[in-house]
Structure 1
């Protein structure tokens, strides 16, 4: 993939000076512990509604031991969770949906084009192509490792009705 085809120019992403670390990310999205899949935010372009971040893949990631023994490859669903968390962070930081929480709304045109393994840094990128406040965000996304595209597609994010979820759980 040519550099110009990435949502962000990978060469200008500054890993030494992230704009948000794990602590700042967790102020805006609820995932914790083994489900936190974004290490830091590297860049935002509010004019284009685009954001880039990354996930450091380590031997300690929860899936390494079982997917697959002796040949750990990051599961595609976890890659998709990482990109969803990046989109959720960006939507919450800029109050794009006007909701307390953004959830996974769907995926289209997803393609896995390479493997992600311990020791890799998975660069995550999104660019919104549709925004309906209070209803949905739709974003093109890409994941890259070592300058190569490993996953891409279209992600949908939807408002999560927090109060309705809390009421439902209280009835149980």
Structure 2
């Protein structure tokens, strides 16, 4: 649905911090959610130090990828276009497996509440249908 160049028109993130490669499904009118993915490559800069002998995608970057997925949904809404998304909090984060080079990290974030410039999204990241990471993401829009 949206390729990386189209995603860059919506969210302000850029390499090496752009952690979503493609949006495959998006609904922003009724149930506000985005589905997308990140192809995790052995060339990712973070693998140089995390960990050289057993590369694993850091959990904080998995959360960031989910937040960026939610940001695509929020910043696609007319009233938030062109704004900057910021973390306001992370609740209920759980990590249930590793993300390694060669994985396709499937990302889903549903916006469950928006009040003014603050909202909450529920994010789930999975690999091969297995939930790897989930979190409640609180955001603020500036």
Smaller-chain TM-score bracket:
over 0.9
Contact 2:108/2:123, CA 8 A, preserved across alignment? yes
Give the alignment of 1:32-43 within 5 angstroms.
32-43=14-25
Greater strand share, structure number: 2
**Per the alignment, do residues 61 and 97 of structure 1 end up closer, same or farther by CA in structure 2, a change over 3 Å counting?**
same
**Per the alignment, do residues 83 and 72 of structure 1 end up closer, same or farther by CA in structure 2, a change over 3 Å counting?**
same
Does 1:60 find its partner at 2:46? no
Give the alignment of 1:7-156 within 5 angstroms.
19-46=1-28, 47-95=30-78, 97=80, 100-133=83-116, 135-156=117-138
Contact 1:97/1:132, CA 8 A, preserved across alignment? no
Runs (5+) with no aligned partner, structure 1: 1-18, 161-172
| Structure 1 range deviating more: 79-88 or 143-152 | 79-88
Aligned match of 1:13: none
Report the Cα offset of residue 45 of structure 1: 2.7
**Per the alignment, do residues 157 and 87 of structure 1 end up closer, same or farther by CA in structure 2, a change over 3 Å counting?**
same
Query: Displaced runs of 4+ in structure 1, greater than 2 A?
Result: 95-99
Which has the greater radius of gyration?
1
Report the Cα offset of residue 102 of structure 1: 1.4
Contact 1:53/1:86, CA 8 A, preserved across alignment? yes
Alignment RMSD (CA, Å): 1.4
Runs (5+) with no aligned partner, structure 2: none
Contact 1:130/1:139, CA 8 A, preserved across alignment? yes
Contact 1:109/1:153, CA 8 A, preserved across alignment? yes
> SS in structure 1 opposite 2:55?
coil
Contact 1:97/1:136, CA 8 A, preserved across alignment? no
Aligned match of 1:164: none
Report the Cα offset of residue 95 of structure 1: 3.2
